[in-house]
Structure 1
Amino acid sequence: MRNFDILLMGLKNLFRRKTRTILTVLGVVIGTASIVVMVSLGMGMNESFEAQLKQMGNLNIINVTTYRNDPDSSGGPQKEIVLDDAAITKISKIEGIKGITPVIESSMKLISGKYMAYVQVMGIDVKSMPNFDYPIAEGRLLQEGDSDKIVVGGNIPQYFYNPKSRYGSVDGQPAVNVLTDKIEATFDMSYGEKQQQQGLGGSDTSDKAPKLYKLKAVGVLDITNDWQKDQYIFMDYLNLKKLMKDAAKAQNGQSQSSMMFDTNSIGKSFDRLMVMVDKIKDVDRIQSEIDDLGYGTNSLADMRKSMQKQSQTIQLVLGAIGAISLIISALGITNTMIMSIYERTREIGVMKVLGCKMGNIRHLFLLEAGIIGLLGGCIGVILSYLASFALNTIGKSFMNSESGGMLSMGMGMGMGDAESRISVIPIWLALTSIAFAIFIGLVSGFSPARRAMKLSALEAIKSE
């Protein structure tokens, strides 16, 4: 028999018992849809985890710290490490690093006329700033030679306030234009405050007025929900170290000061190093290589790995639950094919007498079982996409409307990000599910096909 004839005969046999075929296909539809929807929920949770991590910072950044757990001390004291230019040179040789910068951090108070703002300041290597994906909204990033220049985080303009009125906005807009207004800075956090320190034997004034440093903002970053970018100001680390040393000298001559500088901390070692990895898939490898060099490291990849393991476990459990229904549907396919043999015993006998090959009979029954799996898989995937669309629209709207309860619970489960989806069905999952449904159909039809091949031609012709 030609393959085309086998195909036509298989379709004709399936439609001969339409109700039974439809019910069998329906079982495969339910099984396929169950697997796809269940796995898509796990993928949606993984996508939400990724979105939450991106809000916490850049997944490609590795922080190299001055402390690490000493593997020889089994939980004992940590070993202190010096992060200097030699460490930067050594780490820079690792393949796959896009940029590296030393980091010095401190607190400052910005002054612009009658307005002030408490800020965190980060000193970095201005030459490497473009490598760290700082999104500029206005102005420009820092450049080499910008010793007294700063770049301001997106939220900083909102922090300015008037100590006398406690208001820092005019008609809802920031009262200070950081790019055009004059800005000075001090490390004395009590500068400009009227309140006196009660019970401490001191006041907001001292024998020597705190020194003010002139700064010029050249850029404002876009708001990214990354707190290190939104709530910091950035300047050249060499200039920041110079200002800190100058302020520390001034502090030594004052009996009371709110700068709280530890002069010993302003040394040769940086607070930490930031390493930007070119490709996210290389983060684990590069972090491991930096660890092997004897430095302490941490990154969002550490949290990402634990979240991925949790997500994979959830996907496995959900997929197994969905697979149970598809396995049950396989029993329905087997039952349908066996019943088809009983009903077509005489037909099989005639085919054998007319010289039909055993392989053609096997292919015929496997084809019918495979078509059932194909139809069930395709329809099941279509229903899965519809269910996914409903979950991502109606379900998310319901979660957001119940912000007091469901949304907070969703946050704990990794579903609280407004941009993330509850259900995610990539194309490979849809195609794999269809292929798996066809495979289940072929496996289910294998035994009935062998049974049809073993039928005696004479006995089959005699049967009624």
Structure 2
Amino acid sequence: MRINDTIGTAIGNTFRSKTRTLLTVLAIFVGAFTLTLTSALGAGINGYITETVDGFGVRDVMSAYKEQNAAPSDEPQEYEPADRAGADGRGAQVAASYLTQDDLDDIADIEGVESVEPTLSTTVDSIARDGGTPYSIMAVQLVPGQNLQLDEGETPAYESGRAEVAIPAAFVDALGFDDASSAVGEMLTLGVSDADGDPHAFDARITGVIGDGFAMGMPTNVLSLNRSAAVTISALNQLGMADELTDLYTNAFVHFDAAATDAEIEALQDRLADAGFASSTVQQQLGMITSVVDGIVFVLNAFAIIALLAAAFGIVNTLYMSVQERTREIGLMKAIGLGSGHVFGLFSIEAVFIGLLGSTIGVLLAVLAALGVSAGMAGSFLADFDGLQLFRFEPVAIAATVATILLLAFLAGTLPAVRAARQDPVTSLRYE
């Protein structure tokens, strides 16, 4: 029997018992549908995170801060007078968590560190335009080399010699601008308080409008400052503050070679840790989100695999019953000269064809469902995530899913196929 005849006969035999075949295909469909959808979801979210990290533009900077020596305890701890808060409001343990100028010098001396600069503490009370209504806002200093996701304009130049800011899109209308583009290049008045609570104001130029999206990782009322703006605000915040409190920093930007490999970055972080400083890169911080996504996708894929294993038993059952029903037919085929290999191939092809039907239908419906879900969500809660493709179908992943299901179907069909191939033609012809 030629291979084409074998395949045609196998496909025809598959539909002899339509209900039984349909139920088996349905079980495979559930697994293929779930596996395809969850894999595409993981690829879509992780791809968005990767693109966000790449677009962030920070490849040669990490954040370093003091490691906390005092570990939390579940047991009551005896009070020590040295732990009490001083006149400055900082306890001894809290103050010990701040970086000092000596700490910055120690970091700068570590092998692999090209330069280090403290992150300035900045507190902005309000922003206003042309003496208009002031609005409360938070402010953060840009990471050196950072690129913001902007609706309009450019990221403030980190070292420009003048105060530059990027405002959130939510403040465009409130500040009286017609649209985001009209806000770019305009001046903004920042209200700042000193240590005694006295108000101060200074102007900064708007260079861009920040789009709502994942990359900020912050509320929508955050003002992004360049270094010049941060220096001015920090100086105003510290007016009236005791001298010994002006050289304390929560963390610092550590610059290293942009061409450093992952192993070299890890080695630098180990040296920082040996010196008592914890550190993290932007990629590592966002990588934690990727790990969470991978964990969720893994759990969902586990359910899909369980469904496929159940489907495999369905294939075994379907083909065993088929062998039982076609015992005399198998005996007749062997009696006219059909070899055991051809009989084995006949039932194996049936198993693979059932797997192909279930996986193909599952993949196609998964793609259609993803397109429908994406279209429905694009105008709702995903509207703020520019560039997010929730489901990302990769040809290699789809091919791997189908190939895995076909292999599983083939293995499931092996036992019934072997049983059919080993049947004695004389005994089979006598079977009632």
| TM-score, structure 1 normalization | 0.64
Partner in structure 1 of residue 315 of structure 2: 333
Partner in structure 2 of residue 403 of structure 1: none
Partner in structure 2 of residue 197 of structure 1: none
Any unmatched runs of 5+ in structure 1?
160-166, 191-201, 252-258, 401-406, 408-414
Instruction: List aligned pairs for 1:429-444, cutoff 5 A.
Output: 429-444=397-412
Partner in structure 2 of residue 105 of structure 1: 121
Task: Give the Cα–Cα distance (whole angstroms) in 2 for the partners of residues 86 and 102 of structure 1.
Answer: 13
Q: Deviations over 1:341-386 (max 9, x none)?
A: 2333233224334444333322221111111101111111111222
Partner in structure 2 of residue 233 of structure 1: 225
1:132 partnered with 2:146: yes
Partner in structure 2 of residue 347 of structure 1: 329
Instruction: List aligned pairs for 1:213-228, cutoff 5 A.
Output: 217=205, 220-225=207-212, 226=216
Partner in structure 2 of residue 152 of structure 1: 165
Counterpart of 1:431, as a letter, is A
Alpha-carbon RMSD = 5.1
1:15–1:279: structure 2 CA closer, same or farther, 3 Å change rule?
farther
Counterpart of 1:27, as a letter, is A
Task: Give the Cα–Cα distance (whole angstroms) in 2 for the partners of residues 422 and 88 of structure 1.
Answer: 42
Shift of 1:307: 4.5
Shift of 1:116: 9.0
Instruction: List aligned pairs for 1:381-400, cutoff 5 A.
Output: 381-394=363-376, 400=380
Shift of 1:23: 4.1
Q: Does the 8 Å CA contact 1:287/1:297 hold for their aligned counterparts? A: no
Task: Give the Cα–Cα distance (whole angstroms) in 2 for the partners of residues 63 and 173 of structure 1.
Answer: 35
| Matched position secondary structure for 1:340 | helix
1:11–1:335: structure 2 CA closer, same or farther, 3 Å change rule?
same
Instruction: List aligned pairs for 1:191-340, cutoff 5 A.
Output: 217=205, 220-225=207-212, 226=216, 230-236=222-228, 240=232, 244=235, 259-267=239-247, 272-275=251-254, 282=262, 285=266, 288-289=269-270, 290-298=272-280, 304=286, 307-340=289-322
1:187–1:20: structure 2 CA closer, same or farther, 3 Å change rule?
closer
Any unmatched runs of 5+ in structure 2?
74-92
Q: Does the 8 Å CA contact 1:223/1:230 hold for their aligned counterparts? A: no
Counterpart of 1:235, as a letter, is R
Q: Does the 8 Å CA contact 1:48/1:416 hold for their aligned counterparts? A: no
Partner in structure 2 of residue 24 of structure 1: 24
Q: Does the 8 Å CA contact 2:165/2:229 hold for their aligned counterparts? A: no
Q: Does the 8 Å CA contact 1:221/1:230 hold for their aligned counterparts? A: no
Counterpart of 2:120, as a letter, is I
1:105–1:446: structure 2 CA closer, same or farther, 3 Å change rule?
same
Task: Give the Cα–Cα distance (whole angstroms) in 2 for the partners of residues 265 and 369 of structure 1.
Answer: 75
1:450–1:439: structure 2 CA closer, same or farther, 3 Å change rule?
same
| Matched position secondary structure for 2:312 | helix
Partner in structure 1 of residue 87 of structure 2: none
Q: Does the 8 Å CA contact 1:348/1:460 hold for their aligned counterparts? A: yes
Q: Does the 8 Å CA contact 1:27/1:326 hold for their aligned counterparts? A: yes
**Aligned positions, number:** 392
Task: Give the Cα–Cα distance (whole angstroms) in 2 for the partners of residues 81 and 204 of structure 1.
Answer: 27
Q: Does the 8 Å CA contact 2:184/2:209 hold for their aligned counterparts? A: no
| Matched position secondary structure for 1:222 | strand
| TM-score, structure 2 normalization | 0.67
Q: Does the 8 Å CA contact 1:41/1:423 hold for their aligned counterparts? A: yes
Partner in structure 1 of residue 86 of structure 2: none
Task: Give the Cα–Cα distance (whole angstroms) in 1 for the partners of residues 383 and 169 of structure 2.
Answer: 26
